[in-house]
Amino acid sequence: MSTILITGAGTGFGRESALRLAEKGHAVIAGVEIFPQIFDLQQEAKKRGVNLQVEKLDITNEKDREKAWQWDIDVLVNNAGVAEGGAVADIPEKNLRHQFEVNVFGTILLTQGFAKAMAQKNEGKIIFISSVAGLMTDPFSGPYSASKHALEAFATALHKELKEFGIQVTTINPGPYLTGFNDRMYETWKNWDDQPEKRLFDYDQLAFPHMQLDPEAVYETVVDVVSGKSKLYRNVTPKAMKKQLQALMAAEWEVTQNSGTGKRDNMVQQAYDMKPGTPAKTFILDKLLKSF
């Protein structure tokens, strides 16, 4: 069994994945951003009868990163992340910088220390919880998508750079899952320090423009990638999205500069029409995929 560090384990994918991996018998270090999350996660681990080492680990904090590098781990799961929603023309500088400080700089700086430690041992695995947003972009999620595109580039570079040291690098790319994360992205505008009258869009009327799936498949994918059951470098989940993503990425080569100019984009309209937290049932997965 492996010793695994998973960041951002206080909520969402990270929290449940940490518990699932501990249930499988792995030694799991669950890194959480703030101290109050420690007790809460410890209580949940106790309730489920698993051993879980919970540590305060804010990946944007230099001292926290230095503390983490003292842990001897086999697998690093870079899960910590935030989502700042808003149109590129509207989002304030502070929010834009925060998006990259967490998802890109904090993640890569933490990874650097562990990559060197793993290279000394000639073994290890680094997993990035990326997103389908790292491969495609919706309106109003440009900052988040840009941070994930950057993470994809770093992951690909590390995959090529570290293979000679026996280190495996892989990504997990979840689609739209109902954990609250996507809906919170569309509420970050409420804390903007800007001039509302100068905004191009009415964010009070917008919502995440996709139906969202039950996150069970993501937890299963994390376990499969950690254990080596999945051999793929890029792990899109749900798997059914893979072909649609490939088609979307290929279609971008044919888009013209004036395509749709003067008309509202379909996804913009969908953001106005959708209600927050709209769940998707299994039997309408095909409809969900067609919305991308």
Task: Report the catalytic residues.
Answer: 144
**What single letter denotes the amino acid at residue 216?**
E
Q: What torsion, rounded to 10 degrees, do the Cα atoms 215, 217, 221, 222 define?
A: 30
CA distance from start to end of the chain: 38
- Cα separation, 278 vs 189, in Å, equals 20
Strand order, beta sheet including 27-32: 53-56, 27-32, 3-6, 75-78, 124-129, 167-174, 234-237
DSSP track, the chain = --EEEESSTTSHHHHHHHHHHHHTT-EEEEEESSTHHHHHHHHHHHHTT---EEEE--TT-HHHHHHHTTS--SEEEE-------S-TTTS-HHHHHHHHIIIIIIHHHHHHHHHHHHHHHT-EEEEEE--GGGT---TT-HHHHHHHHHHHHHHHHHHHHHGGGTEEEEEEEE-SB-SSHHHHHTTGGGG--S-GGG-SS-GGG---SS-BB-THHHHHHHHHHHHTS---SEEEESTTHHHHHHHHHHHGGG--TTTTTTS--HHHHHHHHPPTT-B--GGGHHHHHHT-
How far apart, in whole angstroms, are the C-alpha atoms of residue 196 and residue 202? 9
